[in-house]
Amino acid sequence: MSDPNDIGSAEGNSNSLPHLHFSDVAAIGASFQKISRRNKRKMKNKTFGSFERRYSKLALNKSLIPERKRIDYVLIYPNEFSKDAKDESRKLELKKHEQRRAKFEKKIESEGFSIQKDVIGENVFLKLHCPFKRLCVEAEKVKIEMALKNCEIPASKPQNCIQRFADEHLDTDKDVTDFVSTAFVMNKIHLFEGWESPEYFFRPAVRSLLVRSLNPSLPFSPSGYPQLLEE
C-alpha cells in the first residue's frame, strides 16, 4: 500500500510527478515565503537606494546645500539620579524614571532621531534632531503635499474691488509663488521644488508637523508614552 502522505507516484509512467511527502511540500512552501520576504526587503532598499543615489550625485556635482543639524524638540527633566538619593523610597522612584527614560530614548533612536544631552544647572536638556531622510519617509507615509519643481501658478489679476483694495492698501506676501503640488514620493524627490537644499526643503511648520507625528512621547495617550512603557 502507498503512504497516504505521499503525493504522486512513479509507477507505470516515467513522466509522472516525483515522489513527494507532505513534509517536503511544507519545506518548499516555507522556502518560497523566505524568498518573498527577502524580495520585499530588496524592494524597500531600492527605494532608499534611489533616494541616496540622487543626493550622492548632487554632492559630486557640488550642487548640494549641506544640512545643518537642527534641534526639533527639547525635553527637560531634573538633574537628579537614583545613585545620589539617600532616601530609599526616593531612590526607587528615581530608578523607575531612569528605566522609563532609557526605554524612551531607545525607542526614539529606533525612529531615526539623534539625541544630544546637556546638563545646565539643575536640569538635563534632551535635544532631539530628526535627520532629513527620516522626515522624507514620514512625509511619504502621511502623504503630505509638496510643490512640484518648475510648476509655478501664474499670479492672477484682482477680480473684484475687495481684491484690488487689498493689493493696494494691505501688506501681502507678493513675493511668494504658488506651485502645483502633489503627494510627496521619496524616490521622486528630484521632481519637487527645492530638493537640492535638505535644510529648507520642508518649511518649519511642515517639519514640526512631521516630527510631532514621529515623536512617540507626544501626546501622552494610550498610543503614545504609556504604550511605549508596556513594550
Q: Is the pLDDT confidence value at 62 over 90?
A: no
| Each residue's pLDDT tens digit, 107-118 | 888 888 889 999
Report which of 146, 114, 119 is spatially closest to residue 211, judged by C-alpha positions.
Answer: 114
- 170: cell is 494691505
Confidence at 136, pLDDT banded by 50, 70, 90:
very high
Q: Is the pLDDT of residue 170 over 80?
A: no
Backbone angles phi, psi at 127, to 5 degrees: -95, 125
Name the H helices within 111-172. 132-141, 161-169
pLDDT tens digits along 66-110: 778 888 888 888 888 878 878 888 888 888 888 888 888 888 888
Selected residue with higher pLDDT from 100 and 178: 100
pLDDT digits (tens, 9 = 90+) for 7-21: 444 444 444 445 555
Tell me the CA distances in angstroms from 69 to 154, 163, 215, one per residue in order: 35, 41, 17
